[in-house]
Structure 1
Amino acid sequence: MPVDAAVTLPHETQSRVALADVSVSLLRKLWEQYGPLMFHQSGGCCDGSSPMCYPAGDFITSDADVLLGVLDIAPAGGASQPIDFWMSAEQFAYWSHTHLTIDVVKGRGSGFSVEAPEGVRFLIRSKLMDSALPFE
């Protein structure tokens, strides 16, 4: 069952980001190796358009980024393990009407994302939202 992110954007009630089951399992493993994690999706070319996973704080966000949600991968009854999902504001302007699910596929993505040594990469699957507020 997918894990939906907590809503973080003002005036919204619907989650914009979720984790596929396989992503939750991988992220728990990565959390054990690297500690707290974060995602950033820049919208650049090539692997830059894929969600990149970093140890929390290793990628510096700014006013040019939007926090789309906070995912929690804690097992039932376990301590919270929050993972922020950030996207560049410019990219979010294009994706403002989509819900994103973070999935895992075989193959190597960017060497900068912590899952790369596992022989897999994170991938975004998107679907149109029924109602989304335009990004301002």
Structure 2
Amino acid sequence: MTSRLAITDAARQVVEDLKEKHGPLMFYQAGGCCEGTQPQCFEKGGFFPRMNDAMIGLVEGYEFWVDRDLFEYWQYSHFTLDVLDGFGPGGFSLETPLGKTFTIHYRLFNENELKNLSPIIRAN
């Protein structure tokens, strides 16, 4: 199966730090403006996906959800979670107090990858 999601070493370290401080986590990538353009990290249960949002994989064992409309646009793309120094536009995500902000790098799947994509889970 071709994974839809990866994580950089830098982001992995931030996730580990957040897990130690907050416990189980979850991620949500919205399709809106401002803060919604960046992946958000919450304590597990701190955000509720909407009906038909897509869970595209796990980040260090934690669900990574994508807004249903954004997923339709990016469904043929691989997501790589990364982290940058600096503050995001709104500060709702758990990494903000660390002076970090999560970001996503996208790339299109190649023809072979498209034939073997891992399934998604839709929110009810």
CA root-mean-square deviation? 1.7
Letter in structure 1 aligned against 2:14: L
Superposition deviation, residue 106 in structure 1: 1.0
Residue among 34, 42, 49 paired with 1:54: 42
Letter in structure 1 aligned against 2:102: F
For 2:59 and 2:9, how far apart are their aligned partners in 1? 13
Structure 1 residue aligned with 2:13? 25
Residue among 46, 61, 65 paired with 1:86: 65
Structure 2-normalised TM-score?
Answer: 0.86
Unaligned runs of 5+ in 1: 1-12, 73-81
Runs of 4+ in 1 over 6 A off after TM superposition: none
Structure 2 residue aligned with 1:99? 78
Higher RCO structure (Cα 8 Å, ≥6 apart): 2
Letter in structure 1 aligned against 2:24: P
Letter in structure 1 aligned against 2:48: I
Unaligned runs of 5+ in 2: none
> Once the two structures are aligned, what percentage of the paired residues are identical?
38
For 1:53 and 1:64, how far apart are their aligned partners in 2? 19
Q: Quick check: which one's helix share is greater?
A: 2
Letter in structure 1 aligned against 2:93: S
Structure 2 residue aligned with 1:77? none
Structure 1 residue aligned with 2:59? 71
Letter in structure 2 aligned against 1:30: L
Structure 2 residue aligned with 1:128? 108
Superposition deviation, residue 64 in structure 1: 2.9
Residue 116 (1) aligns with residue 96 (2) = yes
Superposition deviation, residue 62 in structure 1: 3.1
